[in-house]
Each structure stands twice: as C-alpha cells, then as structure tokens.
Amino acid sequence: MILRAIIFIIAFFTASISMANEHKAEAIFAGGCFWCMQKPFDHTPGVIKTIVGYTGGHKDNPTYEEVSSGTTGHVEAIKVIYDPEKVSYSELLNIFWKNIDPLDSGGQFCDRGSQYRSAIFYSNDSEKQAAEKSLRDLISRNNITGEIATEILPAGKFYPAEEYHQSYYKKNPLRYKFYRYSCGRDKRLKELGIK
C-alpha cells in the first residue's frame, strides 16, 4: 500500500513537471544594454521569466568585464522564457523591434562596440523564418530605407550574467532611470517610432 502511494506521488509530480515544461519556450535577443531589454519583456503577459546574459562569442563562462572589453565575441543578451499559448514568438519579436535601433551598426544608443550589437538568435527553422518575416514586416510597416544592422543568427550557448545584473531596473530603479535617460535610449526610440 505504501509502495503504491509512493509510486502514485512520483508519477503525479513527474507528470506535473512534464506538463509544465510542455508550455515553455525560450527566445534570445540582443538589444544593447541588457538592463534596458529586461523590463519590456518582464511586463509582457505570458512571459514566465527573463535572464540577462551573454551569447554569440567564443569564450566559455565570460564575465561582464570580459564581455565589456569587446574581446570575447559575445553580446549582452536576454533569454526570455515564455508560454507560447499566452504569447507568441512573433509578439516577442515585435517587442524586441520596438526596443532597439535596428539601423545602428556600432552598438545601441550610447553603448558602443560589437558587444552591444543587436541580434535575434533563433533555435530552429520556425524561429528563423519568423525572425526573417518580422524583419520584412518591420521594413515595410515603418518605411525603413536605411540598412538594417540587426543580425539573425543561430543560437549558441547562453551564459547568465552575474546576479547583480539580473532585474537591475528593479534593484536599482534610480540608477537605471538615470542611465536610460542619459544614454538617449527613449529619445531615439521615439524618433524611430517603430510600429
């Protein structure tokens, strides 16, 4: 009797975990300073969690200082864990485009260097096609005539950033607001007026 109860409990928890994982997907975006990319996704219904970190480079387990030096090939990025039944990958792409300058080839806003370039990292053909379609839609919807600098790249290993960078906008709201303002991010986004 006890053995049956234990088996039932194990089966129940295994099924619950399996069902929870069935409704999760991940997306990775690079849009310059990862502090500024976290808030828009965190406030999106259907987003379960966001993690800021580094991806796209050649160094294992890079630190913030190493990535900031521009020598690792990594970019500051955000991993978005979401429920695809509540928010689609296409909707996340739209949020991404509204929070970057797709024409900036030298970084993003006041952050300069390859470690701040913008990119969409796809995990499969479906995501690649959705990213390419979103780019075409972005250009036509906004009458963009300049060259798009944002890359669409295959996803590689994602390394979470140090804990003090996670949810920086919540932990340090005044510093975050000052940084965002002094960087000119909101001013440039308003100028771009991406729909």
Domains of the chain: 23-192 (3.30.1060.10)
45 alpha carbon, distance to own chain's centre? 15
Respond yes or no: is residue 33 known to be catalytic.
yes
Q: 33, 36, 110, 183: which is the annotated catalytic residue?
A: 33
6: exposed, middle or buried (Cβ count in 10 Å: 0-12, 13-18, 19+): exposed
How far apart are the C-alpha atoms of 150 and 42, rounded to whole Å? 22
Strand blocks (E) in the chain: 25-31, 47-55, 75-82, 107-108, 111-112, 118-122, 151-154, 158-160
User: Which pTM value belongs to this model?
Assistant: 0.87
> From first to last of its 195 residues, what are the pLDDT tens digits of the chain?
665 545 555 545 544 444 455 689 999 999 999 999 999 999 999 999 999 999 999 999 999 999 999 999 999 999 999 999 999 999 999 999 999 999 999 999 999 999 999 999 999 999 999 999 999 999 999 988 899 999 999 999 999 999 999 999 999 999 999 999 999 999 999 999 998
